[in-house]
Protein backbone atom coordinates (compact mmCIF):
# COMPACT_ATOMS: atom_id res chain seq x y z
CA UNK A 1 0.00 0.00 0.00
CA UNK A 2 1.25 3.49 -0.81
CA UNK A 3 2.67 5.50 2.10
CA UNK A 4 0.95 8.85 1.67
CA UNK A 5 3.41 10.67 3.94
CA UNK A 6 6.27 9.98 1.54
CA UNK A 7 4.43 11.15 -1.58
CA UNK A 8 4.49 14.57 -3.16
CA UNK A 9 1.30 16.64 -3.38
CA UNK A 10 -0.22 15.37 -0.16
CA UNK A 11 -1.44 17.39 2.82
CA UNK A 12 1.63 16.11 4.69
CA UNK A 13 3.98 17.50 2.07
CA UNK A 14 2.05 20.78 2.12
CA UNK A 15 2.72 21.05 5.85
CA UNK A 16 6.43 20.42 5.18
CA UNK A 17 6.39 23.28 2.67
CA UNK A 18 4.61 25.60 5.08
CA UNK A 19 6.99 24.76 7.92
CA UNK A 20 9.95 25.62 5.69
CA UNK A 21 8.34 28.93 4.78
CA UNK A 22 7.41 29.79 8.38
CA UNK A 23 10.97 29.06 9.55
CA UNK A 24 12.59 31.19 6.84
CA UNK A 25 10.39 34.02 5.52
CA UNK A 26 7.55 36.30 6.61
CA UNK A 27 4.46 35.91 4.42
CA UNK A 28 2.24 38.43 2.66
CA UNK A 29 -1.05 38.38 0.81
CA UNK A 30 -1.62 39.58 -2.74
CA UNK A 31 -3.25 42.73 -1.32
CA UNK A 32 -0.22 43.34 0.92
CA UNK A 33 2.04 43.14 -2.11
CA UNK A 34 -0.06 45.50 -4.23
CA UNK A 35 -0.32 47.97 -1.35
CA UNK A 36 3.47 47.83 -0.91
CA UNK A 37 3.26 46.37 2.58
CA UNK A 38 6.06 43.84 2.11
CA UNK A 39 9.26 43.45 4.12
CA UNK A 40 12.60 43.22 2.31
CA UNK A 41 12.27 39.43 2.11
CA UNK A 42 8.94 37.65 1.89
CA UNK A 43 6.86 34.79 0.52
CA UNK A 44 3.61 35.66 -1.22
CA UNK A 45 1.29 32.69 -0.77
CA UNK A 46 -1.64 32.32 -3.15
CA UNK A 47 -4.19 29.54 -3.61
CA UNK A 48 -6.56 29.11 -6.54
CA UNK A 49 -9.59 27.13 -5.38
CA UNK A 50 -10.76 25.55 -8.64
CA UNK A 51 -12.71 22.70 -7.01
CA UNK A 52 -13.11 20.82 -3.71
CA UNK A 53 -13.20 23.83 -1.34
CA UNK A 54 -12.92 21.51 1.66
CA UNK A 55 -9.28 21.02 0.77
CA UNK A 56 -8.76 24.80 0.90
CA UNK A 57 -10.09 24.78 4.45
CA UNK A 58 -7.48 22.17 5.41
CA UNK A 59 -4.56 24.08 3.87
CA UNK A 60 -5.80 27.32 5.45
CA UNK A 61 -5.84 25.66 8.90
CA UNK A 62 -2.24 24.50 8.50
CA UNK A 63 -1.13 27.99 7.49
CA UNK A 64 -3.05 29.53 10.40
CA UNK A 65 -1.39 27.15 12.86
CA UNK A 66 2.04 28.14 11.53
CA UNK A 67 1.39 31.89 11.43
CA UNK A 68 1.27 32.06 7.63
CA UNK A 69 -1.16 34.42 5.94
CA UNK A 70 -2.13 33.84 2.34
CA UNK A 71 -4.67 34.65 -0.37
CA UNK A 72 -7.46 32.29 -1.48
CA UNK A 73 -9.21 32.87 -4.82
CA UNK A 74 -12.54 31.08 -5.13
CA UNK A 75 -14.44 30.41 -8.34
CA UNK A 76 -18.11 31.44 -8.37
CA UNK A 77 -19.43 28.07 -9.57
CA UNK A 78 -21.84 26.15 -7.34
CA UNK A 79 -19.39 23.44 -6.28
CA UNK A 80 -16.74 25.93 -5.15
CA UNK A 81 -18.62 29.00 -3.91
CA UNK A 82 -19.33 27.86 -0.36
CA UNK A 83 -20.03 30.86 1.89
CA UNK A 84 -19.34 28.95 5.13
CA UNK A 85 -15.90 27.82 3.91
CA UNK A 86 -15.06 31.27 2.56
CA UNK A 87 -16.08 32.96 5.80
CA UNK A 88 -14.13 30.44 7.89
CA UNK A 89 -10.94 31.02 5.91
CA UNK A 90 -11.43 34.79 6.04
CA UNK A 91 -11.86 34.61 9.82
CA UNK A 92 -8.42 32.96 10.06
CA UNK A 93 -6.91 36.18 8.68
CA UNK A 94 -6.39 35.01 5.10
CA UNK A 95 -7.33 37.21 2.16
CA UNK A 96 -10.29 36.14 0.01
CA UNK A 97 -10.50 37.02 -3.69
CA UNK A 98 -12.68 36.27 -6.70
CA UNK A 99 -11.31 33.74 -9.23
CA UNK A 100 -13.15 35.15 -12.23
CA UNK A 101 -13.75 33.43 -15.58
CA UNK A 102 -16.60 35.46 -17.05
CA UNK A 103 -15.23 35.86 -20.57
CA UNK A 104 -15.12 32.09 -20.86
CA UNK A 105 -18.58 31.77 -19.30
CA UNK A 106 -20.13 34.22 -21.79
CA UNK A 107 -18.23 32.99 -24.88
CA UNK A 108 -16.36 36.25 -25.24
CA UNK A 109 -19.30 38.65 -24.84
CA UNK A 110 -17.64 41.56 -23.01
CA UNK A 111 -20.85 43.31 -21.95
CA UNK A 112 -22.39 40.17 -20.49
CA UNK A 113 -19.03 39.27 -18.98
CA UNK A 114 -18.62 42.49 -17.00
CA UNK A 115 -22.23 42.33 -15.80
CA UNK A 116 -21.67 38.76 -14.61
CA UNK A 117 -18.39 39.82 -12.99
CA UNK A 118 -20.19 42.53 -10.98
CA UNK A 119 -22.91 40.10 -9.90
CA UNK A 120 -20.43 37.48 -8.70
CA UNK A 121 -18.25 40.08 -6.99
CA UNK A 122 -21.28 41.35 -5.07
CA UNK A 123 -22.00 37.81 -3.88
CA UNK A 124 -18.46 37.48 -2.52
CA UNK A 125 -18.69 40.86 -0.82
CA UNK A 126 -21.83 39.75 0.97
CA UNK A 127 -19.51 37.36 2.85
CA UNK A 128 -16.27 39.27 3.32
CA UNK A 129 -14.04 42.03 1.99
CA UNK A 130 -12.66 41.49 -1.52
CA UNK A 131 -9.80 43.73 -2.66
CA UNK A 132 -8.08 41.65 -5.35
CA UNK A 133 -9.07 39.28 -8.15
CA UNK A 134 -7.40 36.57 -10.20
CA UNK A 135 -8.37 35.06 -13.54
CA UNK A 136 -9.14 31.36 -13.81
CA UNK A 137 -7.15 29.93 -16.72
CA UNK A 138 -9.75 27.59 -18.26
CA UNK A 139 -7.12 25.94 -20.53
CA UNK A 140 -9.75 24.40 -22.82
CA UNK A 141 -11.36 27.79 -23.46
CA UNK A 142 -10.06 30.00 -26.28
CA UNK A 143 -10.64 33.10 -24.13
CA UNK A 144 -8.06 34.57 -21.78
CA UNK A 145 -10.18 36.04 -18.98
CA UNK A 146 -7.58 38.73 -18.32
CA UNK A 147 -8.56 40.31 -21.65
CA UNK A 148 -11.65 41.67 -19.92
CA UNK A 149 -9.43 44.43 -18.52
CA UNK A 150 -8.38 45.59 -21.96
CA UNK A 151 -11.89 47.03 -22.23
CA UNK A 152 -12.79 47.72 -18.59
CA UNK A 153 -10.93 48.98 -15.50
CA UNK A 154 -11.15 46.70 -12.47
CA UNK A 155 -10.40 49.66 -10.17
CA UNK A 156 -13.85 51.04 -10.96
CA UNK A 157 -15.22 47.98 -9.15
CA UNK A 158 -13.29 48.66 -5.96
CA UNK A 159 -10.51 46.22 -6.88
CA UNK A 160 -6.93 47.30 -6.18
CA UNK A 161 -5.21 44.67 -8.30
CA UNK A 162 -5.21 41.44 -10.30
CA UNK A 163 -2.97 38.59 -9.19
CA UNK A 164 -1.23 38.28 -12.57
CA UNK A 165 -1.52 41.73 -14.09
CA UNK A 166 -0.46 43.59 -10.94
CA UNK A 167 2.60 41.46 -10.21
CA UNK A 168 6.06 42.88 -10.78
CA UNK A 169 8.77 41.31 -12.90
CA UNK A 170 11.04 40.94 -9.87
CA UNK A 171 9.01 38.12 -8.33
CA UNK A 172 10.25 34.52 -8.32
CA UNK A 173 7.12 32.67 -9.39
CA UNK A 174 6.43 28.99 -8.70
CA UNK A 175 3.16 27.22 -9.43
CA UNK A 176 2.07 23.62 -8.85
CA UNK A 177 0.04 23.63 -12.08
CA UNK A 178 0.35 20.24 -13.74
CA UNK A 179 1.93 18.66 -10.62
CA UNK A 180 5.28 20.38 -11.11
CA UNK A 181 6.76 23.70 -9.98
CA UNK A 182 8.49 24.79 -13.18
CA UNK A 183 5.61 25.97 -15.43
CA UNK A 184 6.25 23.12 -17.87
CA UNK A 185 2.59 22.10 -17.84
CA UNK A 186 1.09 25.61 -17.85
CA UNK A 187 -0.76 27.33 -20.69
CA UNK A 188 -1.91 30.59 -19.10
CA UNK A 189 -0.53 30.22 -15.58
CA UNK A 190 2.43 32.58 -15.78
CA UNK A 191 3.31 36.15 -14.83
CA UNK A 192 3.42 38.43 -17.89
CA UNK A 193 6.95 39.60 -18.53
CA UNK A 194 8.56 37.36 -15.90
CA UNK A 195 11.03 34.56 -16.54
CA UNK A 196 11.70 31.36 -14.67
CA UNK A 197 14.61 31.99 -12.33
CA UNK A 198 15.55 28.42 -11.51
CA UNK A 199 14.51 24.84 -12.23
CA UNK A 200 12.33 23.27 -9.56
CA UNK A 201 10.15 20.24 -10.17
CA UNK A 202 9.29 18.56 -6.85
CA UNK A 203 8.05 20.11 -3.61
CA UNK A 204 11.14 18.80 -1.82
CA UNK A 205 13.30 20.76 -4.24
CA UNK A 206 11.22 23.88 -3.64
CA UNK A 207 11.60 23.39 0.11
CA UNK A 208 15.38 23.13 -0.27
CA UNK A 209 15.43 26.33 -2.29
CA UNK A 210 13.35 28.17 0.31
CA UNK A 211 15.61 27.02 3.14
CA UNK A 212 18.67 28.53 1.43
CA UNK A 213 17.01 31.97 1.78
CA UNK A 214 18.94 33.10 -1.31
CA UNK A 215 15.94 34.83 -2.91
CA UNK A 216 14.45 38.07 -1.66
CA UNK A 217 11.00 36.76 -2.50
CA UNK A 218 8.88 33.83 -3.62
CA UNK A 219 5.47 34.01 -5.28
CA UNK A 220 4.01 30.55 -4.62
CA UNK A 221 0.74 29.40 -6.16
CA UNK A 222 -0.94 26.17 -5.13
CA UNK A 223 -4.26 24.53 -5.95
CA UNK A 224 -5.58 23.03 -2.68
CA UNK A 225 -7.44 20.17 -4.37
CA UNK A 226 -4.09 18.85 -5.57
CA UNK A 227 -2.81 18.35 -2.00
CA UNK A 228 -4.50 15.05 -1.22
CA UNK A 229 -5.94 14.10 2.14
CA UNK A 230 -5.99 10.32 1.53
CA UNK A 231 -4.76 7.61 -0.82
CA UNK A 232 -7.93 7.66 -2.92
CA UNK A 233 -7.69 11.41 -3.56
CA UNK A 234 -4.00 11.11 -4.36
CA UNK A 235 -4.59 8.39 -6.95
CA UNK A 236 -7.48 10.23 -8.57
CA UNK A 237 -5.60 13.50 -8.94
CA UNK A 238 -2.39 11.82 -10.01
CA UNK A 239 -4.27 10.23 -12.90
CA UNK A 240 -6.24 13.39 -13.65
CA UNK A 241 -3.09 15.50 -13.86
CA UNK A 242 -1.55 13.05 -16.33
CA UNK A 243 -4.62 13.25 -18.56
CA UNK A 244 -4.89 17.05 -18.32
CA UNK A 245 -1.19 17.57 -19.02
CA UNK A 246 -1.47 15.37 -22.11
CA UNK A 247 -4.51 17.37 -23.23
CA UNK A 248 -2.58 20.63 -22.79
CA UNK A 249 0.23 19.32 -24.98
CA UNK A 250 -2.24 18.36 -27.71
CA UNK A 251 -3.97 21.72 -27.42
CA UNK A 252 -0.62 23.50 -27.63
CA UNK A 253 0.21 21.69 -30.86
CA UNK A 254 -3.20 22.52 -32.34
CA UNK A 255 -2.76 26.23 -31.54
CA UNK A 256 0.64 26.49 -33.22
Q: Is 123 exposed, middle or buried (0-12, 13-18, 19+ CB in 10 A)?
A: middle
Helix or strand (DSSP H, E) at 84: helix 83-91
For residue 45, give its domain range: 4-255
Supply the pLDDT for residue 189. Answer: 56
Supply the pLDDT for residue 214. Answer: 94
8 A C-beta contact, residue 103 and residue 113: yes
Question: pLDDT digit string (tens) for 150-184?
Answer: 999 999 999 999 999 999 988 999 999 888 898 76
pLDDT (mean) for 195-214: 86
Supply the pLDDT for residue 6. Answer: 82
Question: pLDDT digit string (tens) for 151-160?
Answer: 999 999 999 9
Cα–Cα distance measured from residue 226 to residue 222, given in angstroms and rounded to the nearest whole number: 8
- If one counts the domains in the chain, the total is 1
What torsion, rounded to 10 degrees, do the Cα atoms 79, 85, 86, 87 define? Answer: 150
pTM of the model: 0.90
Helix or strand (DSSP H, E) at 97: strand 95-100
Q: Is the pLDDT at 234 greater than 90, yes or no?
A: no
Cα–Cα distance measured from residue 88 to residue 60, given in angstroms and rounded to the nearest whole number: 9
Q: Give the chain's largest Cα–Cα span.
A: 54
pLDDT (mean) for 66-86: 98
Report which of residues 31 and 179 the model is more confident about. 31
Query: Across the chain, what does the average pLDDT equal?
Result: 89
What share of the chain in percent tops pLDDT 90? 73
Amino acid sequence: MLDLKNRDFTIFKFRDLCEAIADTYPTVTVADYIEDKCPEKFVLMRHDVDRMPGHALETAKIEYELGIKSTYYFRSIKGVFKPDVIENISDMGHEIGYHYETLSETNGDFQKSIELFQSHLDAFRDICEVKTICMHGRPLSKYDNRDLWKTYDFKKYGIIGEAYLSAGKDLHYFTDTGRRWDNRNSIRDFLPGSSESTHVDTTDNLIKLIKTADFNNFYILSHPERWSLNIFDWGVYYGLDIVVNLGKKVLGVMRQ
